[in-house]
Structure 1
Amino acid sequence: MKQLAIIWHSMTGGSEALAQAAYNGAVRGQGVNVLMLNAAEADVEHILTADGYLFVFPENLAAISGGMKSFFDRCYYPCLGALNGRAYAMIICAGSDGRNAVAQAERIATGWRLRQIAPSAIVCTHAQTQEAILAPKTIDKVDLSAAAELGEQIATGLQMGIY
């Protein structure tokens, strides 16, 4: 059975909500084992045994969040050369931009020789003040629905052998 790993990091709940929506979409299909893993708990074995990946995390200070960066730092070299051609997609929860976090994470995925199956999605919360940045995030239904569709797309593609 194919396996999809949804690896997420969240500080104020936005990325976690998007990861949960993607998980809910991914499990609608049959024939794919879907793992939803906090980046702090995900390890090399999870990466090596998965057939596809969905990375969901916030942008912090115009970069990959520290928790997600720690995951990539732990797993990058042990997995180098072992993931070639596996499918991936990303969802970034950003306050205003997100492009730098996307560029950094896509560079890591390129190094792993992963195959991007959808453009990286940036969900903008428009959090600009200290209070808004630190506040728990509520993601709108349109963005949650898009995350669910992306989860379903990658799971279905894995099940069908497209990815």
Structure 2
Amino acid sequence: MKQLLIVWHSRTGAARQMAEAAARGAAAAATQLEQTEELRIVLRRAAAVEADALLASQAFLFCAPENLASLSGEMKEFFDRNYYAVLDQLSGRPYALAISAGSDGAGAVRQTERICTGWRLKAVAPALIVNLGAQTADQILAPKTVPAADLIRCEELGGLLAGVTLMAG
């Protein structure tokens, strides 16, 4: 059985919704490919992911918010905690990235892509950025609802990752 690990962090709910949508898309793709028994989809908050989960996975989706033009603290801590424990052991595995942002998202994308380059992971798609337009302190801190069209994009990304995972040698 192959494993797709979806690692997420969310403060306001947006990145969690995106990760859950990707998991739904991955499950739907496995069903369409008639390979539900061949794919395990693990959806786990970043604080709960250790090196063994990374090593047991054949593909990854990293889903987090951008905070202050950087990757969110909990997601960054996940990478800090696990980086050297799996260095040179994940080479060539596919990954995708989904970022929830208030206006941009590019800083978090750049930061995560550099980390994934260090792990020698292979991106299967351009980073998906969901821009929610939160600009004031109240908007930024408020619970979020990701628009349906953006959740569909997340489902499609999850489906793509599932297909790549199942087809990987």
TM-score class, shorter-chain normalisation, is: over 0.9
- State the aligned residue count: 162
Q: Tell me which residue corresponds to 2:63.
A: 56
1:135 corresponds to which of 137, 142, 157: 142
Runs of at least 4 residues of structure 1 off by over 2 A?
none
Distance (Å, rounded) in 2 between the aligned partners of 1:61 and 1:158: 33
Deviation (angstroms), 1:157: 1.6
Contact 2:13 2:143 in 1 (8 A): yes
1:159 match: 166
Residues of 2 paired with 1:114 and 1:159: CA distance? 16
Letter in 2 for 1:34: I
Give SS of 1:119's match. Answer: coil
Aligned to 1:80: 87
What is the letter of the counterpart of residue 10 of structure 1? S
Report if aligned partners of 2:61, 2:96 keep a CA contact under 8 Å in 1: yes
Aligned runs of 1:22-101 on 2, under 5 Å?
A: 22-28=22-28, 29=30, 30=36, 31-101=38-108
* CA distance, structure 1, for counterparts of residue 111 and residue 163 of structure 2: 27
Fraction of identical pairs, as percent: 48
Residue 3 of structure 2 contacts residue 42 of structure 2 at CA under 8 Å; is this kept in 1?
A: yes
Q: How far apart in 1 are the matches of 2:84 and 2:63?
A: 20
Q: Quick check: 22-31 or 68-77, which moved more?
A: 22-31
C-alpha displacement of 1:160 = 2.0
Deviation by residue 1:115-160 (Cα, 9 ceiling, x = unmatched): 0000001100000000000000110011100100110111112112
User: Residue 47 of structure 2 aligns to a residue in which SS?
Assistant: coil
In 2: Cα distance, 1:15 partner to 1:26 partner: 16
1:1-52 Cα distance to aligned partner (Å, 9 max, x none)? 1110000000000000000000111112122110000001011001011000
> Which consecutive unaligned segments of at least 5 residues does structure 1 have?
none
Give the Cα separation in 2 of the matches to 1:101 and 1:156.
Answer: 26
Matched, 1:20 2:27: no
Counterpart of 2:7 in structure 1 is 7
Which consecutive unaligned segments of at least 5 residues does structure 2 have? Answer: 31-35
Match of 1:149 among 156, 159, 164: 156
Q: Distance in 2 between matches of 1:161 and 1:135?
A: 40
